[in-house]
Structure 1
Amino acid sequence: MVFKRTAMFFVAVIMSFAAVFTVIPGQPDVQASSPYESMERNINATMADSSMKSIVSSVTVRKASTGEIVYEANADRKVTPASTLKLLTSAAALETLGEEYRFTTEMLTDGSIEKGVLNGNLYLRGQGDPTLMKKDLDQFATVLAKSGVKKINGDLVGDDSWFDAIRLSPGIDKSDETFYYAAQISGLTLSPNTDYDAGTVIVNARPTKKGYKAKVTMTPDTGIITIINKSNTVPKGHKNTLSIKRKHGTNTIVITGNAPIGSAGKKEWVTVSNPTAYSLDVFKKSLGSKGIKFNKSSKVTRREAPQNADIISSRQSMPLKKLMRPFMKLSNNTHAEILAKTMGKQLYGDGSWNAGLRVMREFGQSIGLHSAAWDFEDASGMSHKNKVTSAELTELLFLVRQAPWYGSFVQGLPVSGMNDRFIGGTLKNRLTGATVKGKVVAKTGSLNHVNALAGYVETRNGETLIFSVLTQGQKKTALPAIDQIATIIATTPTN
């Protein structure tokens, strides 16, 4: 690995903190050096609140300068990290793939062009690029049209063999599969807009006239989706009850409920079943828009491109250092799983979760993390079986400050209270007060009955502290308590 575990560190570009936890009042396992006694008292007061009694928690605060722990409560207790697991995923990806890594998508053929006819198959080969969009497929079609092709006497073939055929991680529940955060992972996939939620389509249902169905549009337009519209436009002032969901195991999207006149209706990012087929369908439409037709016997299919196929055109994604913003700011689960499989492919020639998670574990061990403190079966944090301690998360956040790619790592983290969603990210609407706005730079985490926050905070004295607060088992959200602790750390004098 590029960096070693030492006491050296980079000056933080931005800093942050936050917290949630549960401890039996009066019995926190706390160690605090004297400059932090005030912070300790204030955090303990929050932890002793009656609303926190039933929560399982783990909390650690360290000095960014030395890694010294200045506050801990159940620091070695394993708790579900939710999306704070992405801190490990992103660090491993930056180390393994490099800041300049780009995903490549290629258009190939095994045939030849004669008098405007491509006699052979046309291939679209992917490496899991989550930023591939319709406009990129339009560009491929333009290149082919400019080469003189007007007809294809062969198949349109998707090559998604860069990854294995397992499309969903173990933590994805059947009920989650329609939603953007549980998209299928494929070596060939497509995003509907620059949020880069790969493997989804944007479905928009808007009110029309009273008694009529809502008007439905889809971005991008694709023939693999069947829309069943059972909605109804109702008078202004009625409740908006629109629901947009994909039927499990199909590419049928059902729209139900009322769309009040004057309302915006409803917009959903809905996953597709089989992202490879989705990408090919949109690509075929792009080709058609350029006047390129297929033979009646041509098929749209999936298989590996032959080794001797000629590359007609290729497209590269933005570098990984730039992808860190939509990935971490918006907590994109699909990006995390794609990066895991990509790491496995690059290091072990195996684009699978097993290989990718192996790379993540080995990365952690190489920088000095303790493998016994980490249990994970995905890279996004979706699984409730994932476990880690707050001590280890803060240790990771301390160690990565020594890495040459630390700047790319930290610029991807959400910043408290900042309005721009590509700055504030998932902290955009949290910690907005004058004393904490812009002071907390941290990764959020949320699942049912789970909340987490881990990152950096700038204190009132200008010191950088590293923190991690993990909670599970709560009946109500623990975010108010977490944000209260973040505020305490940011505003309490530490010297």
Structure 2
Amino acid sequence: MNVHWKRIEELINLEPKLEGALIGVSIRSRKTGQILYEHLGNTRLHPASNMKIFTCAVGLEVLGEEYAFPTELWIDGDIVGQRLEGNLYIKGKGDPTLLDKDFEQLAIIIKEKGIQEISGNIIGDDTWYDSIRLSQDLNWNDEHYYYGAQVSALTASPNEDYDSGTVMLTISPGKSEGDTPEIVLTPKTKYIKVLNNATTLETNHEEEEADIMVTREHGSNIVVVEGTIPKYSASINEWVAVWEPTEYALEIFCRSLKKNGISYSGEVKTGKTPKDATQLFVRKSMSLAELSVPFMKLSNNGHGEIIVKELGKIKNGIGSWDSGLEVLNKTLEKLGVDTSKLVIRDGSGISHVTLIPPNVISDFLFRIQEKKWFDSFYRSLPVAGEADRMIGGTLHERMFGLNVHAKTGTIMGVSTLSGYLTTDEGEELIFSIMLNNLLDEEEGPEIIDRLVEFIIKESKTIFS
């Protein structure tokens, strides 16, 4: 080992916060793939959201950069005058980017087709995927957070972060001490019921921050808001995952129908589109290459799980986690990964069971550089110190001034970072740093960043 690489070893061994923890490090030449340094490089560790590196790459490999998720409108009756004598179906096929305005546009299109009255039912069809909403290792206490949202083939997002299956709550302080804060929902929906138990706090401390907790009662859409918000505080945004996102999307769709003067006399329910139905319209999402940006930059768990289910549906005809993970593993094998040495349980990395060695991650990052879709993949990675969230992503406040394009990862006790960097001497490297068994995962990024900065700044001595 080069004497200067030993200094990294010393940094690791002397870091008190790593006592009792595991740290895996793998550093390669980006040009040749040769391992320059490793520490527990072949030890299987929890990757957290570094798992998304594999999901994104396999999605681009199997589905393609131009792949789009369609949402379809179908009818099973005749249009007589301005009346549809039959049912209207909205069939989802995995699109996580549907916003309130997109449901509005679908309603306008129905009106443009000459339909102003529907005698039958409004039916939401989510059968493109199976009915299992949560991945197998998701912690029960994560299910109401945006990062633990349920997966459905028909879903909706509140804004252009595309956290599908969630509602955004904008919470503003009341006018006087003791007042309940004002809460505005995006999108405007009656699908959830908010119990506002929070309080406006009078304070003279300018640095006093809001202390708000938002939870959803299990098995329901009763959302409880508790805590305090200072009287002069700016508004804060909180996200909550809904229970049963298909019905959530259907509620937004039906509200858009009514807003555009389209009435219906039947029920609003979920169901399956008949084989003999007539297609009215198809809306397509942005391309997978474009979707990879919010997926990877913002580390969107829902996108990772949707991609897995889509892989299973397209290749095996079954939109399930088991089917999708089978496709993911087979594709990784074709891309040079020995999956017999890995444990992969989901597409997002929220699993505490998934295990991947850092050498495997760095080797994969080396191998995929020759793929035609690599530019789209590389563009999706967070960029250190870039303030624009759709460029810097989860690295937008880290490692300012350093040339690092890498995927972050955080779950309880785990902090990871894997990607590409350029040293001060112009050497291009691939790296994977994985911290496991931390007492506080929030301390992990600081440790990782110090290691990365050392590699970049001390490159002259390391490579001399």
**Is the structural similarity TM-score above 0.5?**
yes
- CA apart distance, 1:236: 4.0
Which of 391, 395, 413 is residue 359 of structure 2 equivalent to?
391
Structure 2: segments with no counterpart, 5+ residues = none
1:130 paired residue number: 96
Select the residue among 246, 259, 273 that pairs with 1:289. Answer: 259
How far residue 342 of structure 1 moved from its aligned partner, in angstroms, is 0.3
- The Cα offsets for residues 170-204 of structure 1, whole Å up to 9 and x where unpaired, read as 12111111110001000100111100000001112
| Residue in structure 1 matching 2:389, options 410, 421, 440 | 421
AA aligned to 1:213 is: T
Partners of 1:373 and 1:482 in 2: CA distance: 25
- The partner residue of 2:64 within 58, 78, 98 is 98
Alignment: residue pair count: 454
Out of 368, 372, 397, the position equivalent to 1:400 is: 368
Shift of 1:357: 0.7
Query: Counterparts of 1:485 and 1:256 in 2: how far apart (Å)?
Result: 40
Unmatched 5+ stretches in structure 1: 1-31
Match of 1:43 in 2: 8
- Superposition deviation, residue 264 in structure 1: 2.0
Residue of structure 2 aligned with 1:110, choices 69, 72, 76: 76
Deviation at 1:68, TM superposition (A): 0.7
CA distance in 1, matches of 2:15, 2:422: 29
Alpha-carbon shift at residue 313 of structure 1 (Å)? 1.5
Q: Which amino acid aligns with 1:44?
A: E
Could you tell me how far apart the structure 2 residues matched to 1:234 and 1:69 are? 56
Structure 2 Cα separation of the partners of residues 417 and 153 of structure 1? 56
Whether the 8 Å contact between 1:180 and 1:269 is mirrored in structure 2 is yes
The sequence identity of aligned pairs, in percent, is 38
Residue 219 of structure 2 is aligned to residue 253 of structure 1: no
1:216 corresponds in structure 2 to 183
CA-to-aligned-CA distance 1:21-59 (integer Å, 9 cap, x gap): xxxxxxxxxxx4x5xx42x03312211214123111211
For 2:328 and 2:83, locate their aligned partners in 1 and report how far apart those are by CA, in whole Å: 47
The CA deviation at 1:461 is 2.0
Deviation at 1:244, TM superposition (A): 1.8
For the 8 Å contact 2:209–2:233, the answer to whether it is kept is no
2:348 maps to which of 374, 377, 380 = 380
Structure 2 Cα separation of the partners of residues 310 and 418 of structure 1: 48
Partner of 1:440: 404
Classify 1:239/1:196 alpha carbon distance in 2 versus 1 (closer, same or farther; 3 Å). Answer: closer
Farther off after superposition, 277-286 or 373-382: 373-382
SS of the equivalent of 2:410 reads strand
Pairing 1:260-299 to 2, within 5 Å after superposition: 260-295=230-265, 298-299=266-267
Describe the superposition over 1:347-381 as per-residue Cα deviations: whole angstroms up to 9, x where unpaired. 00010000111111111111221113210111100
Query: Could you tell me which amino acid in structure 1 is paired with residue 346 of structure 2?
Result: D
The 5-angstrom pairing of residues 133-148 of structure 1 reads 133-148=99-114
C-alpha separation in 2, matches of 1:199 and 1:489? 40
Please tell me the root mean square deviation across aligned C-alpha atoms, in Å.
1.3
Q: Which secondary structure does the structure 1 equivalent of 2:128 belong to?
A: coil
Opposite residue 230 of structure 1, the aligned amino acid is N
SS at match of 1:108: strand
Task: Give the superposition deviation at 1:144.
Answer: 1.4
Q: Secondary structure at the match of 1:242?
A: strand
Whether the aligned pair in 2 keeps the contact of 1:373 and 1:392 (CA below 8 Å) is: no
Partner of 2:445: 479
**More displaced, 372-381 or 207-216?**
207-216
SS at match of 1:485: helix
Counterpart for residue 234 of structure 1: 201
Tell me the TM-score normalized by structure 2: 0.95
Partners of 2:75 and 2:86 within 8 A in 1: yes
CA contact (8 A) 1:242 1:266 kept: no
Q: Are the equivalent residues in 1 in contact too, given 2:137–2:351 (CA < 8 A)?
A: yes
1:265 deviation in Å? 4.1
Q: Which runs of 4+ in 1 moved over 4 A?
A: none
Deviations 1:107-159 (A, max 9, x none): 11111111221111010001110111111111111111123322111111011
Aligned equivalents of 2:113 and 2:46: distance in 1? Answer: 54
Choose 241-250 or 322-331, whichever is displaced more: 241-250
8 Å contact 1:259–1:265 — kept in the other structure? no
1:373 and 1:467 mapped to 2: Cα distance?
20
Q: Label 1:140 to 1:405 Cα distance change in 2 as closer, same or farther (>3 A).
A: same
Bigger drift between 218-227 and 229-238 goes to 229-238
Q: Which has the higher contact order (CA 8 A, sep 6+)?
A: 1
Q: 1:420 to 1:104 in 2, by over 3 A?
A: same
